[in-house]
Structure 1
Amino acid sequence: MKNQINCVIIDDDQFAIDILRDHILEVPALSLYKSYTNPITALSELLETRNIDLLFLDINMPELSGLQVAESLKHKIKNIVFTTAHSKYAIKAFDVQARHYLLKPIDLNNFIEVVSSIIISSKTSKLTNIDDESYFIHTGERGKLTRVQKKEIVYIQAAINYVDLFLQNKRYTIYMTMKEMELVFESDPRYFRVHKSYIINRDFVDSITGNIIKLGDYQALMSSPYKNEFMKYLSERTLLSKRL
């Protein structure tokens, strides 16, 4: 089946994996790519793997917890669903941008309810993916689609129920939320969400003064906690003398 959602399961309990595998087989839109009982092995392989759409992740595992795995993969895998026997982990799950969590033992009806929202979300995006470097967007003119090169997007700014895409000499307004835009661009290392209202392209950054990022003729704001990943990126690329 074309356009299936590729799934991965990480759980140290093989019985739990078998239940999820059976549930995945019940949903034609889903395809099981691989399952792991060792979270360390899973993390090392998934960091080098592309096109994983959905991760079912146990939380309480030896050596490496599901929360730690999710923190490392949240910018690579768009949909993370925690599978846990403990509801107390739910809040922590959302701290690492997990879409949902399922309580064990996982009932098929609950499973279908959770994955259905993910399937619908993947089909209803108003950005139509062409390839890794461009998108078609609806810009408001009836019946018209405009192609935009990702590398030309300087930054994205929230505008109530819309977002503005700023290119060097153009601006497009589209009917999407910042959360949707963040999910679209999160797998591209050039883009960082630095504020509740701003996603920036690091390739256009000229300077940073306090919480203001200069992007050519534009500027964007940074604020916690959104700016943390970008500040980490900056610290890794800032030249400093190692002399005492």
Structure 2
Amino acid sequence: MPASFTCVIVDDNEINRLTLEHMVELTPELTLMASLAGSLEALQYFRQGGQADLLLLDIEMPHLTGLELARLLPQPAPAVIMVTTHRDFAVDAFELQVVDYLVKPVDLPRFTQAVTRALDRHQLQVAAVAPAPVIDTPSSELFIKVGTKMLRLDFNEVLFIEAMSTYSILVTGTQKHIVYMTLKALTDRLPFAHFVRAHRSYIVNTQRIDAIEDNMLQLGKYEVPIGKSYQEEFYRQIRGL
């Protein structure tokens, strides 16, 4: 587990905030950055550059609910654990890909379970793309965490990468690999200039494009669209390769 996993509490009920603050104090891996009394205050905190790895977020709050706040968080957004008195919001919460959903009153064992889940997910995301060792490793290869193992993958063989919710799929000519990392995070960390964003859901290997017609890319047996908002930048980048 990371030595310090920063968190922010947002709850309009003072007693609930104090309870969560006490549980954070009892959790060595957590460092409390802020304890806020409302969603508007929290939105301002993050928009002004405030940081946190984890957000402990009440759902039912005035002006802006926790669910609405989660949709408005600047990216990269923190992991979210929802905390509420009602179970009725569970479906909506999981549609937002929250880490967990706690029902008040929250006890320490259940709180610890949710935090552990957030820490585990964080570790998967950090380890999802790790540079291959320098020793005898070709520059086109990286180690990718796929499931429970680190897979050495030659990125020259990757045709494109597709976003699927909070994870991504690396597609080669013969295989597909699920990586527990968002497409944006992969875009930021891939060291290869020939991997270019072509669509909100796709990064493509420009060296493996067979043809382009009507803003559709042919990569082997697959077709990938070029998103309208990406077309100008995409064509500029491939002209420069």
Please give the TM-score of this superposition, normalised by the length of structure 1. Answer: 0.62
Identify if the C-alpha distance between structure 1 residues 181 and 155 changes in structure 2 by more than 3 Å, giving closer, same or farther. farther
Count of aligned residue pairs for this structure pair: 203
Partner residue, 1:21:
21
- Inter-partner Cα distance in structure 2 for 1:50 and 1:123: 22
Identify if the C-alpha distance between structure 1 residues 144 and 64 changes in structure 2 by more than 3 Å, giving closer, same or farther. closer
Identify if the C-alpha distance between structure 1 residues 23 and 137 changes in structure 2 by more than 3 Å, giving closer, same or farther. same
- Inter-partner Cα distance in structure 1 for 2:98 and 2:145: 30
- Inter-partner Cα distance in structure 1 for 2:187 and 2:16: 29
Q: Which runs of 5+ in 2 are unaligned?
A: 132-141, 189-195, 207-211, 234-241
Partner residue, 1:81:
81
- Inter-partner Cα distance in structure 2 for 1:187 and 1:53: 20
Q: Which amino acid aligns with 1:127?
A: A
Partner residue, 2:202:
200
Root-mean-square deviation over aligned CA pairs: 4.6
Partner residue, 2:62:
62
Q: Which runs of 5+ in 1 are unaligned?
A: 131-135, 223-229, 238-244
Identify if the C-alpha distance between structure 1 residues 15 and 157 changes in structure 2 by more than 3 Å, giving closer, same or farther. same
Identify if the C-alpha distance between structure 1 residues 143 and 71 changes in structure 2 by more than 3 Å, giving closer, same or farther. closer
Identify if the C-alpha distance between structure 1 residues 16 and 183 changes in structure 2 by more than 3 Å, giving closer, same or farther. farther
Identify if the C-alpha distance between structure 1 residues 155 and 78 changes in structure 2 by more than 3 Å, giving closer, same or farther. farther
Identify if the C-alpha distance between structure 1 residues 95 and 114 changes in structure 2 by more than 3 Å, giving closer, same or farther. same
Q: 1:156 aligns with which of 152, 161, 168?
A: 161
Partner residue, 1:31:
31
Distance apart, 1:127 and its partner CA = 2.7
Distance apart, 1:15 and its partner CA = 1.1
Q: Which amino acid aligns with 2:91?
A: I
1:1-244 map, 5 Å: 3-49=3-49, 51-73=51-73, 75-125=75-125, 126-127=127-128, 137-138=143-144, 155-157=160-162, 163-164=169-170, 177-178=178-179, 180-182=180-182, 185=185, 194=200, 199-201=201-203, 214=217, 219-221=223-225
Q: Which amino acid aligns with 1:200?
A: Y
Mean alpha-carbon deviation: is it higher for 86-95 or for 76-85?
Answer: 76-85
Identify if the C-alpha distance between structure 1 residues 208 and 9 changes in structure 2 by more than 3 Å, giving closer, same or farther. farther
Counterpart secondary structure, 1:105: coil
Distance apart, 1:49 and its partner CA = 2.5
- Inter-partner Cα distance in structure 2 for 1:64 and 1:183: 28
> Identity of aligned pairs, percent?
23
Counterpart secondary structure, 1:181: coil
Mean alpha-carbon deviation: is it higher for 27-36 or for 48-57?
Answer: 48-57
Which of structures 1 and 2 has the bigger CA Rg?
2
Please give the TM-score of this superposition, normalised by the length of structure 2. Answer: 0.63
Counterpart secondary structure, 2:62: coil
Identify if the C-alpha distance between structure 1 residues 13 and 144 changes in structure 2 by more than 3 Å, giving closer, same or farther. closer
